[in-house]
Amino acid sequence: MAGMRRPLAVAWLLGLLGPALAAADEEIAVGLPAPAFTLRTMNPETSGLVVVSLDRYVGPEADDAQAKVVLLSFFASWCEPCKKEMPYLQRLHEMYRGQGLRVLSVSIDREEPGISQARQVAAGAKVTFPVLSDRFNFLARRYLGEQSPLPSVFLVGRDGNILRIERGYGKDAATFLLAQVQKALGISSPTAKAAP
């Protein structure tokens, strides 16, 4: 009986991971569909969610009828620009949630100390949007490949297609992010120059 459990467990795990592994060489580019995912949140107490799937916000069967654009940002606890970005993502979440922006951050930390530190970064920034854990980097490999600068940001439209990709960005991140979010949401505003 015990020998029978192992093949069943392996088959079950491959059933779960199969789509992620098969899609590992998917092309990631503007205009193409964003790879789907389901990950656990690191902050269920503040985000109100335990698990998040991309198709909750985008695609023909999206649960969130108000969602228009998903800002997906990959980060790590050791990445200093990522730590600076986190409070700004929270600000964008607060400013544009009502207009359809959904912010998701994905931690690529693999070891428990880094995961714990990523939680602290999110807590320190008083983040209320979902912060997701990609501990085994299945999603990171699909979106980022083997190496990519952090933070890396993807804007995904309501149709599920990628609108914008930024793999690492310069010192004007706040202005850049604000302008791109406003453009994706169809908001023309002079506030792009006065980024918070």
Write out 129-150 in H/E/C secondary structure: CCEEECCCCHHHHHHHCCCCCC
Give the residue-averaged pLDDT of 65-83: 94
- Report which of 130, 121, 41 is spatially closest to residue 93, judged by C-alpha positions: 130
Where residue 74 falls among pLDDT bands split at 50, 70, 90? very high
C-alpha dihedral over 83, 188, 70, 137, to 10 degrees?
A: -40
Question: What is the mean predicted confidence (pLDDT) over 33-48?
Answer: 96
The pLDDT, as a whole number, for residue 168 is: 73
Residue 191 and residue 196: Cα distance in Å, rounded? 9
What is the per-residue pLDDT across 106-154, written as a single tens digit (0 to 9) for each?
A: 999 999 999 999 999 999 999 999 999 999 999 999 999 877 788 899 9
Give the integer Cα–Cα distance in Å for 142 and 146: 9
pLDDT of 26 reads 63
Which residues lie closer than 8 Å to 132 by C-beta, 6 or more apart? 39, 40, 41, 42, 52, 104, 105, 106, 107
Inter-residue contact 162 to 80 (CB < 8 Å) = no
Asked whether residue 24 carries a pLDDT value surpassing 80, the answer given is no
Query: Please, are residues 72 and 106 in contact by the beta-carbon 8 Å criterion?
Result: yes
Residue 11 pLDDT exceeds 70: no
Residue 27: per-residue pLDDT: 82
**DSSP 8-state code for residue 91:** H
Short-list 58, 162, 148, 48, CA closest to 108: 148
pLDDT tens figures, 177-189: 899 899 999 997 6
Residue 128's SS3 state is: coil
CATH 3.10.330.20 matches 2-189: no
* Residue 158: predicted pLDDT: 96
Distance CA 101, CA 187 (A): 11
Non-local (6+) Cβ contacts of 126 within 8 A are: 46, 87, 90
Please state the domain extents for the chain.
Answer: 2-189
